[in-house]
Every structure is written in structure tokens, then in C-alpha cells.
Amino acid sequence: MRAYRIDELDAYLRYHDLPGRTPAFVFLHGLGSASSADFPEIARHPALRDRRVLLIDVLGHGLSDRPADFDYTMESQADIVARLLRRLELQGSIVVGHSMGGSIAVLLAARAPHVVSHVMSAEGNLDPGPGFVSGRITAIPEAEFAATGHRAFIETVIKAGFPDYAGTVQAADPIGLHRSAASLIAERSPTYREHLASLTIPRTYLFGERTLPDPDVKRLREIGVDVRIVAEAGHSMMLDNPDGFAAAIVRAIAKTTDR
């Protein structure tokens, strides 16, 4: 694992950088997760293993630092990722984000268009309002969540049958997790959906088959977004069906190169 120093925060953003040909694939994880945990199997999948791949743990998550004076907004997370890609002299990367990471990916493409050539959001937030995880985190005040709510949420996740996700939630900073959740679901203008609609680069949105039906399949296709369905998978599609997730990514890239 490598580390990128952020001087003004006295913190390090940590990531895996797997060698291969460019354009690189950049993977961004969901709320309470970590790319270092969620995407290794995808990164070395036969369909992708010849490509350069970055697995980034955003600040407050995974093995990255937890700066106390960072605001943990989605915009700030996108800006930090953009700085890393510039430092690595990577342009035109294919950015794949899951859930919260999908929303960060859309903001990254909108705010730093030269570093992204194709944005892929795997059930990323499109509109304001709480989701299943973010709503439970933000249902109590930040200080209370840090004191007792974080541990209670981990226990809830374990009881629900998701010990793997509980492990990454446990590694996440409670304050960073709460602020990330609050920013993720906050009102903003433009919304993630509006940003996605306005992008001129190739755009892909992935659904897990088990989360369907969803009216956004039709809505996104109507605005020119390439919609892919990962069979035999729910929201955590890269874990439920790694082969199907990797295949969907590869087919989405092939569609753009065939134009």
C-alpha cells in the first residue's frame, strides 16, 4: 500500500497502485467500506489484470488517516482524489465508484474533468435523502454516534449477517463516517443526478439484479447513460458476483471503444 501526503491536514491518503497499461481504473468504495477490502478480486480479475488499477481508501475510511479538521464532504473527498491522480500524472482514468464512491466519482468527473475519461457508478446516490445505511448513521447526533452509536451500528450490521462489512465499518473513523453520511445525503445544487446528466464523457450506471425493479433504469437510459445489470447480485455487487461485475465493466468500456 502507498501513501499520499496531504500537508494542510497532516494526513495520508492510502491506496494500492497495481501496475498495468493505461488508462488506469480507479476504484472508490461505499460509505463505511474500503477499496482495499472491496475490490482486490476485481482488480486482479482476468478481464482487468493487465490494466493499471488504483484502489483508494478515502479519508476516514479503511487504512487512510482520520484528520480531525477535515469536513468529510463528498466534494472535498473528490478534490483529494483528483489531487492524487494529478500527482501520479494520470489523465483520462476510468473511475468506478460503488454507492457513496459512485457519488464521489460523479463529482470528481464534474470538478476535474481532465482526470476522468469514463465514470461508472454502481448504485451510487443520485438524489438527496437518507438511504438504508446513511439514514441509520445520521439518525442520531454526531457526538452521540461517536460515543456509542458507532459500536451499536457495528453490532447491528453483524446481527444482520454482514460481518465483512462490519469489519470495514469498524475501521472507519466514527466522526468521519457520520460527516460523510451527512454530506452524502445532503441537499446540493446541482445534484449528483444533474451532474451525471451534464457530463459529456461516457457514463455507466450499474445495478445489482436483486435491487430491481428501479425506475432509474429507464430514466438513466433516457438521458444517455449506459445502464448495466449485474446478475445474481444485490447492492454489494462486486462481492456478490465479482465475475459479473468485472464483465459489466469490460462490456461498458468495449461499447465506448466500438463507437
Residue ranges per domain, the chain? 2-127+189-257
What type of residue is 130? Answer: P
Q: Residue ranges of the alpha helices (H) in the chain?
A: 35-38, 40-43, 74-87, 100-111, 132-138, 142-144, 150-159, 163-171, 174-184, 192-198, 216-222, 237-240, 242-257
pLDDT of residue 36: 94
The enclosing H or E element of 206 equals: strand 203-208
Partners of residue 57 on adjacent β-strands: 14
The pLDDT tens digits for 166-198 are 999 999 999 999 999 999 999 999 999 999 999
pLDDT of residue 153: 96
CA-to-CA distance for 146 and 135, rounded, in angstroms?
15
Architecture of the domain spanning 2-127+189-257: 3-Layer(aba) Sandwich (3.40)
pLDDT of residue 256: 76
Question: At 149, phi and psi to the nearest 5?
Answer: -70, -35
* Residue 211 DSSP label: G
pLDDT of residue 257: 64
- CB neighbourhood size of 252 (10 A): 21
Q: Which residues contact 46 (CB under 8 A, 6 or more apart)?
A: none
Percent of the chain's residues with pLDDT above 70 = 99
Mean pLDDT per 10-residue interval, the chain, length 259 residues:
97 97 96 96 89 97 96 98 97 97 98 97 97 94 97 95 95 97 97 98 98 97 98 96 96 77
